[in-house]
Copies of this chain bind each other. A is one copy, B any other.
Amino acid sequence: SSKRVAILGAGPSGLAQLRAFEAARQSGREDLPEIICYEKQADIGGMWNYTWRTGLDKNGEPVHGSMYRYLWSNGPKECLEFADYSFDEHFGRAIPSYPPRAVLKDYIMGRIDQQAIKKYIRFECPVRWVEYDDDSKKFTVTVTNHKTNTQEVEEFDYVVVATGHFSTPNMPFFKGIDKFPGRVLHAHDFRDALEFENKDVLVVGSSYSAEDIASQCFKYGAQSITISYRSQPIGHTWPEGMEERPLVTHFEGNIAHFSDGSTKGFDAVIMCTGYLFHFPFLPDELRLITENCMYPNNLYKGVLFQPNPQLIYLGMHDQYYTFNKLDVQAWYARDIILGDKVLADAKTRQADIKIWRDRHDKLDGSDEQNIDFQADYILDLLALIDYPDFPVREQAELFKQWLRDKQENIMGYREKTYPSTITNTMATELPKPWLEIKDDSLESFMSLDFVEATVD
């Protein structure tokens, strides 16, 4: 094929796209397009690359990473296990259900043939600008190559946007915060909980980042943690020293005022207020505009940009399922690009989008409904492609169990174990409470004496 495909980003989504084509190549397929993947960072892995940097990176580009030291998976590994690459196969033995970041990263990357994949990737190449020409029906992609300090301009038939959407902070203003005498940061810039040892910390937000960063601060010795919610409290039973309050209204000096009239003084404020979809390299007519939700508008089958289906977005949904969902999306996108799948006409696509968006609008916002909805979406796509079947519904049930386990004990749920939906292997138990395991490195974690789970 003389087609050319640009993949923007080499995180889990971009890598899934590269693997999808590689799988086709390995199965003897010959008419494959020419592929270039542009990646801002110096390595593959996307969000899973921990970086000590905050703000701007060594090349002056916005730092992508929002992960922090001591981050552990906040969902069971059994919910993201690949059908064709089990945890057993990777680690050679059973491990606990909630591994630290480095351990999970090791698994995800273990499946990738790095030699085969990396040759398509240009590192330290942030994409600057993408344009589409209506006459030639091609995209022009302009990147800055920081290794050579020059720009590169190339033409493509397809562009796959896989740049993630948990990197650009949504940072609200509260009256008086500009005069707060201490550190004010967004979750995106949170790195080391030890910085907040013995401090009174205010966490604003009530979703995953708030829950987990508050827990980290507790684990690493903050003096007190107050979580301030806008819509609803997280609602866990928090240990002594942690509490939830309604939304902060304003600050006076280091004193936060809350909407229930209460006040409290703080040393630091951590805004866990979510992320913006930010595509500074895309012109209006190519730019997805959405908030973080279960089914962004204008994406047919969740991936093809409706106004121009030569443009493909991966991983733009809010996430329960992650890696195997990204795989499914990438497999579908590949089949469309290869022409193996005939693209429905615009009207048909629009009708399909409407069905999903209507269902989406009827969701009651509960995790349980969201999980089933995302499972349905994955199954819908799976039916269209030759990706190995995997137990989507069983994983959905595990997600629901996870919700109950968190509810029961927020500081202890990471000690729970679940059976693999792929191999049936039961996860092993941590040898001591999560709160007491403070070194999260791969080496340290893998040298723990995991305990065979007792079946009850």
Contacts and interface: CB of A to CB of B under 8 A. Distances in A.
How many copies of this chain does the complex contain?
2
B56 A169 contact: yes
B280 A171 contact: no
B171 A181 contact: no
Nearest to A283: B151
A54 B189 contact: yes
A234 B53 CA distance: 27
Contact of A129 (B128, B185, B186): B128
A107 B55 CA distance: 31
The 8 closest A-B pairs by CB, nearest first: A60-B168, A52-B178, A60-B278, A55-B55, A181-B194, A129-B129, A60-B276, A151-B284
A192 B181 contact: yes
Interface string A223-236: 00000000000000
A194 B182 contact: yes
Contacts of A50: 178
Contact of A289 (B54, B56, B149, B182): B149
Contacts of A55: 54-56, 62-63, 169, 185-186, 188-189
A195 interface: yes
Contacts of A359: none
Interface residues of A, number: 49
Contacts of A263: none
Given A61-B280, A62-B62, 9 more contacts: A54-B55, A54-B189, A55-B62, A56-B62, A58-B172, A60-B276, A126-B280, A182-B192, A183-B195
Contacts of A61: 280
Interface of A: 50-58, 60-63, 126, 128-129, 142, 144, 149-151, 168-169, 171-173, 177-186, 188-189, 191-192, 194-195, 276, 278, 280-281, 283-284, 289
A281 B280 CA distance: 11
